[in-house]
């Protein structure tokens, strides 16, 4: 999980660099297209476990993962890298809320306190004006929601599929769905708030862009594989704690790429979200 967190931060930094030449949807597409090729080659060399009777949850995991990824990559292009990754780490709060609403799990006093702390952290980061928060920050939080739903499905299907097959479902969705959205852009002009999701495809011409695309595909595939192995092999609480190390990694890479260092309010918000996430994990 520690390696996955480091690779995740590097992946975010590469996406931020590529955002100068590519849209968020194109970044998602190329990142997953090359990732699919890597995973398929791995599976051809060493086949893995595959259950046809559980294809529905596997496909759902892919769609949820794509939804989280496109929102994450979009926020990377518009707000500082460390803040974007922190908002994505709100996923444990959504896991706790969904478990209470949908699975009738009892919410402990510690979980309620953790959710309140996390909510305060989000407010400190987004600094809402009145009752509204910025659209970019809102998408960052929604990305955390979809990430939570995607991670939850891993626990449901880990006994039926090899970890590489689970990663492949995620990357297949991240390849096929962008292709459909590229085609949709030819016949539909989206409103401004959906332009990040429905955009034209432009083939990169710069060699340096292709180098970064290949590098990002390799690193992100390794990160996803390590993440899936981690969640599949040990206690999710331990994994959740270690996963927060990607926030300082991301802040460091973001500053190196020109992001402003988080102000006091944002740093306090980051600490509140990390503290709330750790409390949620301990309450499980």
Mean pLDDT by runs of 10 across the 284 residues of the chain is 87 90 91 84 78 80 90 89 85 74 67 81 73 78 87 76 82 93 92 88 88 87 79 66 81 88 85 81 62
Q: Count CB neighbours of 187 within 10 A.
A: 6
pTM listed for this prediction: 0.81
Whole-angstrom Cα distance, residue 42 to residue 209?
25
Cβ neighbours for 192, distance < 8 A, ≥ 6 positions apart: none
Evaluated on CA atoms 159, 165, 171, 176, the torsion sign reads negative
pLDDT score for 107: 65
Structure tokens at 199: 């955009």
- The conformation of residue 1, written as its DSSP 8-state character, comes to -
pLDDT score for 234: 63
Cα dihedral: 31, 33, 35, 40 (round 10)? 180
Whole-angstrom Cα distance, residue 63 to residue 66?
5
Q: What share of the chain is helix, strand, coil (3-state, %, to 5)?
A: 75, 0, 20
């Amino acid at each position: 999980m520690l390696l996955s967190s480091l690779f995740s931060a590097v992946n975010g930094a590469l996406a931020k660099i590529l955002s100068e030449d590519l849209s968020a949807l194109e970044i998602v597409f190329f990142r997953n297209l090359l990732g699919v090729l890597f995973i398929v080659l791995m599976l051809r060399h060493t086949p893995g476990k595959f259950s046809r009777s559980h294809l529905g949850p596997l496909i759902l995991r892919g769609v949820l993962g794509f939804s989280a990824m496109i929102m994450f990559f979009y926020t990377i292009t518009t707000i500082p890298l460390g803040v974007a990754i922190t908002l994505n780490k709100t996923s444990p709060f959504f896991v706790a809320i969904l478990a209470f609403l949908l699975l009738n799990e009892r919410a402990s006093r510690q979980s309620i306190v953790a959710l309140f702390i996390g909510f305060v952290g989000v407010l400190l980061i987004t600094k809402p004006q009145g009752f509204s928060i910025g659209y970019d920050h809102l998408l960052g939080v929604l990305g955390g929601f979809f990430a939570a739903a995607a991670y939850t499905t891993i626990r449901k299907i880990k006994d039926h599929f090899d970890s590489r097959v689970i990663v492949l479902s995620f990357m297949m969705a991240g390849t096929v769905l962008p292709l459909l959205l590229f085609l949709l852009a030819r016949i539909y002009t989206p409103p401004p708030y959906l332009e990040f999701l429905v955009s034209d495809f432009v083939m990169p011409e710069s060699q340096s862009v292709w180098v970064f695309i290949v590098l990002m595909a390799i690193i992100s595939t390794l990160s996803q594989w390590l993440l899936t192995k981690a969640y599949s092999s040990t206690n999710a609480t331990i994994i959740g704690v270690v996963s927060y190390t990607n926030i300082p990694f991301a802040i460091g890479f973001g500053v190196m790429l020109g992001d402003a260092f988080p102000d006091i309010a944002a740093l306090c918000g980051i600490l509140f979200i990390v503290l709330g996430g750790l409390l949620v994990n301990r309450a499980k």
